[in-house]
Each structure stands twice: as structure tokens, then as C-alpha cells.
Amino acid sequence: MNSHYLSTSRSNPQFYTFSQLFEHTESTANGVQLESQWKDQTQQTAWIEFWQREGHELLEQKWHKHYPEYKQQIEEATAAERATWEELWQQHASKQSEHFWHIFTCAFENYENDLFNGLGDVDQPLSNVNEHLADLNIDQGVENPESCDELYFSANDDPYSLDEEQQLKLLGLPTSFGAPLARKQRKPKPQSVSDSESDSDNDSTLLIMSKDTDKDLALHSVQSRSIKKKKRQKVPNGRIPEFMQNSTMLKYWFKRFSLFSRFDRGILLDHESWFSVTPEKIAKQTALRLSGDIVVDAFCGCGGNAIQFANTCERVIAIDIDANKLAMAKHNATIYGVAHKIEFIHADFMQFANSTRLRPNVVFLSPPWGGPGYQKQATFDIEQHLLPLGATQLMQHARRLSDNIGIFLPRSSNIKQVIALSHVGGQCEVEHNYLDTRLVAITAYYGSLVKNQQPEEKTNDESTK
């Protein structure tokens, strides 16, 4: 099964989650059985949650973008004109929902592939990596970071910035036949005003909304073979931190607003935090799941999760062993106006868990993954490669504080190991987090955080009362 890599926007990608409930049994290590209806149920639930969460806002944004005159004209519109506007709205809603449904279904196909790869053995390589790796012909030698196309080979950032040869390389197809010939550079065609405006739009790389003069905007498909390439905007080197002006780190700079939507207001990140901070949309989702009175963020780093916890919890205990990261987290929380709800503690979480009398409602673990090198591992062993301890030992320390635990893990984590973190006979919920069609990470929930256990516990509480 091939993976899809589509993008709506590099700085503001759409967020999808797919979750599965697993039970830890004696036979879990040998194999995990999914219910017969898991696929349809998961897809339907995920789509409903996404559309209820973001659908109306997406429709409104696109509507006012394509019809800026609507607000002014609707106030003085006649009954016939209002009917016309209503018809246009129905067409708009239908086209946009179809547009996002297409990207969603591609993400779900990726999820199906990622889930079964994750259920393999720890030392089992991904099935589609060894099969196609020999065909890939990607040149890694890049001298100028600004013209680096390799940055976009891995995901959903800006596929239209690739020329024809680079797209063939990405797909593992031959770029030429016979003896290599010198390629003549074509002169760029002059762009009209409407073309330049559409180039700046961050619509989907698969379905592109063209700016027609007629009110009935057409939604063009890739099948028309008229893919319009976007011009990549050059960023002045002076704005980029010096340690990021290389081909390895530059891609994180282009994603800065997906990490913090208020980045341009003075967000501070050190070198490690650029590739370890949780993207804001995922942090918001996690904060909603872990909402309550007191939450402990065991490895807060520069505050990506702690800031969002402050919006859903009464009190946040943010812990980190690095004083510099802790100071940055407090600064960033001030930018979001939530620093007063967070208590920043400079400590080692393991020592804190063994000595404190605090009993929070929830503990959140987002331990270091060992740097960007984790992406090279087909299957990430959470017992061997997490820092500073393996996942089982980290969970033991966290359970000293609470049985309700959420843990943020690499996208290639072995699901069997994740399930084994729950007690035998217990359950866990594994949530795959996608930005557009690209799997970013996995979040696992334990204790009463598992969705289907919540109603049962409420009933027990009521009977106790």
C-alpha cells in the first residue's frame, strides 16, 4: 500500500486523529486482533469529530475569501438575490466538504497502513520501505539551503515546488533514458495579476481553487493534468536563526507557525526544541483529552503542551530538568496569556515523582526521542530509545502520581509495546495524529482517560454517592 502525501498548508495543515482501543492480554505479544468493524467505525467517528470541530469554520473562511463582497451585499439584497446567495453557499459547502473528505480519506488509508506496520514486531522493518528503497534516487548533496528541494521530499509541505525531474525522483521513477543530455532552461512565462494572487493561496496540493471572474468558482482536479506550480517565497537569512540556516534545520523554520500560531510575537525555542516541541493542533487535542483540575507535564520543554493544558485545566505543573528550556516555556506562556496558571518546576521528573505528595488528576509524558535520528528507524523501540528511561520505567514513576496517564510517542513506535504499558487485563487507547495526510506522532491514553471507560466510572461514582 502506497502512502499519500497531500497538503493544505505548510503553516496551517489540517489535523486528523484516528484512535483504537486495545486490551492487554497474555497473548498480546503474539498478535493483536481488531474487531471486524474497526475500519468503518474508526473512519466514521474520526470524520464526524473533525467536521464538527472545524467544518463550519473552514467553510466560513473559504466563503469570505472567495466572496469578500458578501457581507456588504447581503444586507441590501432582495429576496431573489438572497436565494442566489443561498444557492452559491450550498454549492460552496458541497465542493469544500468533498475537497476535505478526499484529503481525509487519503489520511485514513495512510492510517490503515501505519497501524498494521506498528502492530508488527519491534525488529520487523516496514513492508513498503525495503520494497521501494532501492528504486529511490534522491540527491542529498545540497549546498544552498534556500534552494533545497530535499526538504520537501518527506511529507506534505510544498510538492508543487518540485520540478518534473524531482517529482520523478520522489516517486522512484527513472528521470531519463539513454545518455544524459544537457537540459535547456526554459524562460519563465510572465504571470498575470490573477496568477500571482492564486500562487500565494495555500489551498490543497491536490485540488486547487482557481479565481474565476464568475461567482461560480470551479474546483479543478489533478486529473486534468494542468498542475500549477507554486513559487516558493524566499525568506531573508536575517530572520532565520544562524543555527537553522542549513538543509537539516531549515524545514523546521518553514513549519514554525504550525508549532506556535503566535510565533511572530516573540516565541523562544532552542536548537533541540525545534524538532521536539508538539505541534499546536496536536497539543490542543491532547489538552482537551486531559482536561481536569491538576495536570503534570513531566517533560515540558519550551511549553508547547503546558500552554494548551492551561486552557483546559485549573492548574498545570510544568517540570523540566533544563533551566533554560523552563525559562523559555514561561516566556512563551506569557505570550499566550496563561503563565499565571502554570507552576514551573526545575527538577528531574523521576526524583519529583518519588518525593512529592502531589496527587494530580493526570500525568502527561512527552520524553525525548533521541533527536531527529528516530525518523530513520523503521520501528521505534520505546523501551530502548526513549530518554532518559524506557517507557515501562517512565510509566512506573508516573503511576506513583496517578493512574491516568497520556504519553506522546514517535510515529513509528511499536504498538505492541504501547499496549503492554497497561496492566494485564487493562485497556489503552492509541491515537494516531495526522497533519494533513502525514502521520506526525502517536498519543496513548491509560486509566480513566480511555474513552469507553469514562461513562462506566461516572456510573460507579454516582452509585457510590
3-class secondary-structure state, position 185: coil
Amino acid at 395: M
Examine the fold and report which residue of 115, 130, 145 is the final residue of a domain before the chain moves on: 130
Q: Which of 106-115, 134-143, 257-266 has the lowest mean pLDDT?
A: 134-143
In this prediction, residues 279-293 reach a mean pLDDT of: 93
* Residue 340 in domain: yes
Spatial distance between the Cα atoms of 157 and 6, rounded to a whole number of angstroms: 8
Question: What digits encode the pLDDT tens for the residues 416-457?
Answer: 999 999 988 889 999 999 999 999 999 999 999 997 644 334
Q: Which of 21-25, 257-261, 315-319 has the lowest mean pLDDT?
A: 21-25
Give the model's pLDDT for residue 178.
46
* Residue 74 in domain: yes
User: How many CA atoms within 13 Å lie on the side-chain side of 352?
Assistant: 22
Spatial distance between the Cα atoms of 435 and 415, rounded to a whole number of angstroms: 20
Residues in the chain: 465
Give CA separation, 96 vs 48, 66, 401, in Å: 15, 12, 46
Q: The domain spanning residue 276 has which CATH number?
A: 3.40.50.150
* Residue 90 in domain: yes
The DSSP annotation for 273-335 comes to GGGTSPPHHHHHHHHHHT-EEEEEETT-TTSHHHHHHHHHEEEEEEEES-HHHHHHHHHHHHH
Report the run of H or E that residue 397 belongs to, with start and end: helix 391-398
**Residue 403 exposed, middle or buried by CB count within 10 Å (0-12, 13-18, 19+):** middle
Spatial distance between the Cα atoms of 112 and 320, rounded to a whole number of angstroms: 35
User: How many CA atoms within 13 Å lie on the side-chain side of 41?
Assistant: 8
Question: Which triple of cell numbers denotes residue 133?
Answer: 528503497
Confidence of residue 283 (pLDDT cuts 50, 70, 90): very high
Give the model's pLDDT for residue 454.
41
**Which residues form the domain of 76?**
33-130
CB 419 within 8 A of CB 28: yes
Examine the fold and report which residue of 99, 130, 161 is the final residue of a domain before the chain moves on: 130
Examine the fold and report which residue of 109, 130, 151 is the final residue of a domain before the chain moves on: 130
In this prediction, residues 45-74 reach a mean pLDDT of: 90
CB 395 within 8 A of CB 406: no
* Residue 186 in domain: no
Residue 110 has pLDDT above 50, yes or no: yes
Residue 334 has pLDDT above 80, yes or no: yes
Report the run of H or E that residue 353 belongs to, with start and end: helix 349-355
Amino acid at 58: L
Residue 218 has pLDDT above 70, yes or no: no
The vertex-396 CA angle with 392 and 443, nearest 5°, equals 60
* Residue 161 in domain: no
Dihedral sign, Cα of residue 145, residue 148, residue 151, residue 156: positive
In this prediction, residues 8-13 reach a mean pLDDT of: 81
Spatial distance between the Cα atoms of 104 and 6, rounded to a whole number of angstroms: 10
* Residue 136 in domain: no
Give the model's pLDDT for residue 374.
66
In this prediction, residues 233-257 reach a mean pLDDT of: 74
Amino acid at 455: P
* Residue 224 in domain: no
In this prediction, residues 327-332 reach a mean pLDDT of: 96
Give the model's pLDDT for residue 132.
37
How many helices and strands, by DSSP H and E, does the chain display?
16, 10
Considering its fold, how many domains does the chain have in total?
2
Question: What digits encode the pLDDT tens for the residues 186-206?
Answer: 555 555 444 434 343 444 443
Residue 74 has pLDDT above 90, yes or no: no
The structure's pTM equals 0.71
Question: Which triple of cell numbers denotes residue 308?
Answer: 494548551
* Residue 382 in domain: yes
Highest mean pLDDT among 184-193, 298-307, 364-373: 298-307
